[in-house]
Amino acid sequence: MFDTVILDVDGTLVDSNYHHALAWSRAFRRHGHDVELWRIHRAIGMGGDRLVAHVAGDSVEQEEGDALRDAWTREFDGLIGDVRSFAGSRPLLEAVKELGLHLALASSGQPEHVQTFLDLFDGRSLADAWTTSDDVEESKPAADLLAVALQKTGGRHGVMVGDATWDAEAAVKGGMPAVGLRTGGFAEAELREAGAVEVFDGPSDLRAALADGLLDRLGR
């Protein structure tokens, strides 16, 4: 039986994926790289340590990776004030705790960004633990972040909830079921192909499914 729900933050609890994509686009352009915005969006959800090579190639990563990440930080800092939490995020967290489960928020974002996002839905008052980029060396789709999140809560058996294919892939690698949300812009078929066993439109729909015995069905 599951004792822990691990929730991604960016794109899952806060509506930030398109802000991230725009910030990366601007960062690449500042350095003379015209990377299509749609291509960047498809990579949102993996860590910044992987994204540059994924969308622009290994040579760009080797020569300019750190500079691009610094440029992305400056660009995103100018956009973060426009990010909002999804309407159902706080009620979803409350529902998880009402079920008597551990709750972890698994982000590989920069600590200051994660703290800002937690303020949007008062996540500190409900989460047993949360992670940032300081907690792991390997970001998603590696499973390291999920292992740390589970360890921090003291839980043993977790379910991963995320909006990106990278979340589902990380869950599969970590040996736990993945639940997908369409809030990040990925299609249901893509999330299922990456390993999600259930897919919902957003936090409110997932909350209703939890009340209807979702975790029992996943544990069968």
Number of domains in the chain: 2
Mean pLDDT value across residues 215-219: 89
- Host H or E run for residue 24: helix 17-30
Mean pLDDT value across residues 81-107: 97
The HSE-up count of residue 151 (CA atoms within 13 Å, CB side) is 10
Q: Are 122 and 209 found together in one domain?
A: yes
**DSSP of 77-130:** HTTGGG--B-TTHHHHHHHHHHTT-EEEEE--S-HHHHHHHHHHTTGGGT-SEE
Q: Are 8 and 98 found together in one domain?
A: yes
CATH (domain of 115): 3.40.50.1000
Residue 181: closest CA among 170, 167, 212:
167
Q: What is the pLDDT of residues 135-154, one digit of tens each?
A: 987 888 889 999 999 999 99
Tokens encoding 148: 């740390």
| Structural domain span for residue 118 | 4-15+84-218
Tokens encoding 38: 């749609």
Q: Are 70 and 106 found together in one domain?
A: no
Residue 27: closest CA among 63, 44, 52, 53:
52
Q: What is the pLDDT of residues 44-61, one digit of tens each?
A: 999 889 999 999 999 999
